[in-house]
Every structure is written in structure tokens, then in C-alpha cells.
Amino acid sequence: MAAVSYLSTIDRYHECQHAIRELLASILTGIGRSDLFMDSASMREAMCDISSRYPFVDLLYTIDEKGMQSSDNIACSKKREVIGAGGIGHDRSQRPYYLLARDLESVVVTEPYLSTASRKLCISAALKWRDANGVVLGFIVLDIDLAGTVEFLMGDSLRKRFVPAFRVVYSIIVFGLFVVVGLLLLSAFHEVMSLFHAEADRASIQLKPFGVIIFLTLGLAVFDLGKTILEEEVLMHKDIFRHSSTRRTITRFIAAILIAVSIEALLMMFKSALNESLSIMPAVWMMLTAVGLLVGLGSYVYLGARAEVLLVNNRATAK
């Protein structure tokens, strides 16, 4: 649940590129009017209006026919005002949005780029504007936060508000699991120390190492579970709309259980070799359980991957 990675954002952009362009074209066409080139108050009013509906819009500004910025960068939040302060008089004649919009009459949208102001992936939309007499007044430009646009289109904005709370809950759970790991390691250490002070018979001493291994194995399984939760839900960004993300989490979780069950089955087999024949059948059943888990996990991963490939191919064909 960390910040969205650039790679994930770019992937989503290519999947939703047509929808993003249509959305930005409708926004820019809706606010376009001649008084934006004459009155900064009109620009601020228009910017605040679209920001309330589309929070991913960062800046609004105008440039003249020669590519020189003719207005300040207009934003409707304190943070964005600081990031986009100034701007008037800057030469934008080599910017992609100007080069694209200069020869077209429709809205143009650039490819994603890294903003030097916000350090985020952005896209810009520009529209050449003419007055009632057909004279070109300049170009209206919107700078857009790409990750925010993708979240808006995917309907993920509300969930993102709860991400900090989710992260805190997962962190508390992981801390509790690591405490359990510490207790298991402490128990294993006590078992090891008891070997040097044991006054029991030889058979009892021979079984002591198995208790140590059991504690260590449980500690390994619990630690791996906590590590998986920490990485998947706290440290890494998890795209819930991708089947591969869910499949990865389930695979890591089942793999941790599979390792623990397999080691426990081996321990029971070793114990049966030490004249505890009653342990052999439970060990066999436990090993068969591990095999069943492995087969089921392999089938799930294979079928899930095939389904995702088919879904991606269908989307590509539809485009």
C-alpha cells in the first residue's frame, strides 16, 4: 500500500489511454472561453470549479500564439500553488503540448512525462482557442496528475483514503506475529539449553532436538507469514485490480504453509524411525497434504496466469 510505482502507472495509462484522452478533452472543452486570456479571476474560478469535480487536475494556464506563457500557473490548493508558483513569461514553445496543439484545432494530450515541479508523472492537455471572429487568442493548458487520473477512472479514490488506516492495522498484526516468532525462538533456545541439563533417559534426550526443530519451523512459518504481509500490504503498492497481484499474495501465503507442513511431516517420519511407529501414518497423511497443497497451488497459478493472458489479449483485440 505504498505509493503507486511509475511502472504500474504507465501500464494503467496504456490500458486506459483512450478513456483518459476523452475525459481530458471534455474537461478542457467545458472550461474553454475567451475571458480566460484576459482575467486571472476567471481562470481561478474555472480552476476551482474543475478541481472540485476532478481532483487530479494540478494547474491551469494559458500560452500565447508564439508559445510564451501569458498567465500565472493557477491552482486551487496551497500545496499546488507552491509547486506551480509563477510561470508567466516562460517560453513553452518547445513543449510537446504546444507543438501538438499549434497545428490542430482539437484538444491534444501529451504522453506521460516526469514533472520538474511536482516530481510526479504528469500529462498535459492543450486546446487552441479562437475568439468569435476566428482570431487565435492562444492556448489553454491543463497539467494533470497521471496517477490521480488513473485512480479516478478506476473508481479507486475512496479506497485510497482508507489506505493509511489499513497500513496501521496490518503493521500491528505484523508486530504481533514477530512477537510470536520471538517467543518461539526463545522456546527453542530453552529446549537446547535443557539438553545440557537433562537427567532423563536416553530416548527422551534423543527426542529433544525434534522439539527444537518444531519450534524453529513454526517460527520460520510465522515469520514468513509476517514478512509476506509486511511486504505485500505495507511496503509495496498492491494493485487490487490486477489478478496477478492477488495471485502473488496467495502464492506466497500458501508457500509458507507448505514449507511448514513439509518440514513437520519429515520430523514425524524421523521420529517414527526412533521406535515411535505410531507417528508414521500421521506423517504420511501430512506429507500427502503437502503434496495436495503443492498440486492445488500449481493449478491455481497456472489457470490464473492463463486467464489473465486471455483477458489482456481480449482487451488488445478490442482496441
Quote the CA–CA distance of 12 and 6 in Å, as a whole number.
Answer: 10
Opening angle at CA 249, ends 246 and 251, nearest 5 = 105
For residue range 6-23, what is the model confidence (pLDDT) as tens digits?
777 888 888 888 889 999
Quote the CA–CA distance of 294 and 299 in Å, as a whole number.
Answer: 9
pLDDT recorded at residue 171:
93
pLDDT recorded at residue 1:
46
Instruction: Rounding to the nearest 10 degrees, give the CA dihedral for residues 9, 12, 18, 24.
Output: -40
| Architecture of the domain whose range is 6-154 | 2-Layer Sandwich (3.30)
Domain boundaries, given as residue ranges, for the chain: 6-154, 158-318
At 287, list the grid cell: 506429507
Provide the 3-class DSSP secondary structure of residue 312.
Answer: helix
Once rounded to an integer, what is the mean pLDDT over residues 247-261? 81
Predicted TM-score (pTM) of this structure? 0.66
At 158, list the grid cell: 475512496
Q: Using the 8-state DSSP alphabet, how is residue 233 labeled?
A: I
For residue range 86-118, what is the model confidence (pLDDT) as tens digits?
678 888 888 888 888 888 888 899 999 887 766
In this model, does residue 275 exceed pLDDT 70?
A: no
Return the amino acid letter for 156. D
pLDDT recorded at residue 209:
75
121-130 and 136-145 strand pairing: antiparallel
Name the packing angle between helices 243-273 and 280-318 (round to 10°). Answer: 170
Give the other-Cβ count within 10 Å of 267's Cβ. Answer: 19
Quote the CA–CA distance of 102 and 99 in Å, as a whole number.
Answer: 5
Residue with cell 475568439: 131
Q: Using the 8-state DSSP alphabet, how is residue 61 labeled?
A: E
- Select from 187, 160, 169, 140 the least CA-distant residue to 56: 160
Provide the 3-class DSSP secondary structure of residue 163.
Answer: helix
Rg (CA), the chain: 30
pLDDT recorded at residue 270:
74
Quote the CA–CA distance of 96 and 99 in Å, as a whole number.
Answer: 5
